[in-house]
Amino acid sequence: MAARTLRIGLIPGDGIGREVIPAGRRILEALPSSLGLKFSFTHLEAGFETFQKQGVALPEKTIEGLREGCDGALFGAVSSPTVKTEGYSSPIVALRKRLALYANVRPVKSVSTSTRPVDLVIVRENTEDLYVKEERTYAAADGTKIAEAIKRISETASFNIAAMAGDIALRRQRVRDSGIGEKSIHNRAMVTITHKSNVLSQTDGLFRETARRALEQDKYQTIKIDEQIVDSMVYKLFRQPQDYDVIVAPNLYGDILSDGAAALVGSLGLVPSANVGRDFVIGEPCHGSAPDIEGRGIANPIATIRSTALMLEFQGEEEAAAMIYAAVDANLEEGKLLTPDMGGKATTQEVIEDVCRRL
How confident is the model over 86-145, as pLDDT tens digits?
Answer: 889 889 989 998 999 999 999 998 876 566 788 899 999 999 999 888 999 999 999 999
- In this structure, of 212-216, 229-233, 259-263, the range with the lowest mean pLDDT score is 259-263
The mean pLDDT value for 302-321 works out to: 93
pLDDT at 268: 83
pLDDT at 265: 85
pLDDT band, residue 318 (cuts 50/70/90): confident
pLDDT average, residue stretch 247-264: 92
What's the rounded Cα separation, in Å, for the pair 47 and 301?
Answer: 19
What is the tens place of the pLDDT at every residue in 164-179?
Answer: 999 999 988 887 776 6
Most confident among 208-212, 291-295, 324-328 (mean pLDDT): 208-212
Calculate mean pLDDT across residues 290-313.
95
pLDDT at 3 over 90: no
Selection from 4, 66, 5, 8 nearest residue 311 by Cα: 8
What's the average model confidence in pLDDT over 258-280?
89
At residue 323, what is the residue type? M
Q: In this predicted structure, what is the pLDDT of residue 204? A: 97
Query: What pLDDT does 110 receive?
Result: 84
**pLDDT for residue 145:** 97
Q: What pLDDT score was predicted for residue 106?
A: 94
Q: Does the pLDDT of residue 187 top 70, yes or no?
A: yes
The closest of 196, 242, 193, 195 to 220, measured between CA atoms, is 193
* Residue-averaged pLDDT of the chain: 92
Number of neighbouring beta carbons within 10 Å of residue 5: 10
Per-residue pLDDT tens over the stretch 45-100: 999 999 999 999 999 999 999 999 999 999 999 988 878 788 898 899 899 989 99
Architecture per CATH, domain 1-101+277-359, reads as 3-Layer(aba) Sandwich (3.40)
What is residue 120's predicted lDDT score, i.e. its pLDDT?
A: 94
Average pLDDT over residues 225-250: 95
- Specify the pTM: 0.87
Q: Report the 3 state secondary structure along the chain.
A: CCCEEEEEEEEEECCCHHHHHHHHHHHHHHCCHHHCEEEEEEECCCCHHHHHHHCCCCCHHHHHHHHHHCCEEEEEECCCCCCCCCCCCCHHHHHHHHCCCCEEEEEEECCCCCCCCCEEEEEEECCCEHHHCCEEEEECCCCCEEEEECCECCHHHHHHHHHHHHHHHHHHHHHHHHCCCCCCCCCCCEEEEEECCCCCCCHHHHHHHHHHHHHCCHHHCCCEEEEEEHHHHHHHHHHCHHHCCEEEECHHHHHHHHHHHHHHHCCHHHCCCEEECCCCEEECCCCCCCCCCCCCCCCCCHHHHHHHHHHHHHCCCHHHHHHHHHHHHHHHHHCCCCCHHHCCCCCHHHHHHHHHHHC
Query: Residue 113: what pLDDT?
Result: 58
- The ranges assigned to domains in the chain are 1-101+277-359
Check whether 323 has a pLDDT greater than 70.
yes
- 36: Cβ–Cβ under 8 A, 6 or more apart, which residues? 1, 2, 3, 4
| Average pLDDT, integer, range 269-287 | 93
Percent of the chain predicted with pLDDT > 70: 96
| 8 Å CB contact between 223 and 191 | yes
Q: Given the DSSP bridges, would you call strands 281-283 and 274-276 parallel, antiparallel or unpaired?
A: antiparallel
Q: What is the rounded CA–CA span in Å between residue 169 and residue 120?
A: 10
Q: Are 306 and 324 within 8 A, CB to CB?
A: yes
Q: Does residue 6 register a pLDDT over 80?
A: yes
**Gap between the Cα atoms of 245 and 134, Å rounded:** 33
pLDDT grade, residue 29 (50/70/90)? very high
What are the φ and ψ backbone dihedral angles of 61, each rounded to 5 degrees? -60, -35
Query: 13: Cβ–Cβ under 8 A, 6 or more apart, which residues?
Result: 21, 46, 47, 75, 76, 77, 78, 79, 91, 92, 289
Residue type, 131: Y
For the ranges 127-131, 209-213, 269-273, 317-321, the one whose mean pLDDT is highest: 209-213
Is beta strand 281-283 parallel, antiparallel or unpaired with respect to 72-77?
parallel
Contact 73, 8 (CB under 8 A): yes
Q: What percent of the chain has pLDDT over 90?
A: 77
